[in-house]
Amino acid sequence: MSVSVDIRERLKDAFAWRGDRTDEHRLADLTGWWRDPALLMQLGPALADLSGSSSVSLVLGPQSSGAMLGALVATSLHVGLERVCQRLAGWWATLDECCVPTRSRTSCGS
């Protein structure tokens, strides 16, 4: 079995849709991916191989799970990571551009 098929099967096995029986929609639960150390070690290199380019200098990690996946890929490629978020208007921006400090906390997504 090739590595890509093995990873694909392990990702499917560790993934679940979660929700209450009364919920109209279920949410993706990726925590099984993070719980399996062997899968976690393979995930970054497998995703990095998809780039098909040796000229990658920075990985963009979208907010939420993309930041963790992006960090795994960036580590595998030996490059930096820039976390990005989506503004309410629908445009993507770096976290510094999205977050507006307030007195009590940082508000992101504006």
Is the separation of the CB atoms in 28 and 11 below 8 Å? no
- What are the structural domains of the chain? 3-107 (3.40.50.2020)
Q: Tokens 């719980």, residue?
A: 35
Q: What is the pLDDT of residues 83-104, one digit of tens each?
A: 887 766 666 566 666 655 544 4
The pTM for the full model equals 0.68
Alpha-carbon gap, residue 104 to 102, rounded angstroms = 6
CB distance 6 to 39 below 8 Å: no
The whole-number pLDDT of residue 91 equals 61
* Contact yes or no for 19/27 (Cβ under 8 A): yes
Residue for token digits 């030996």?
Answer: 78
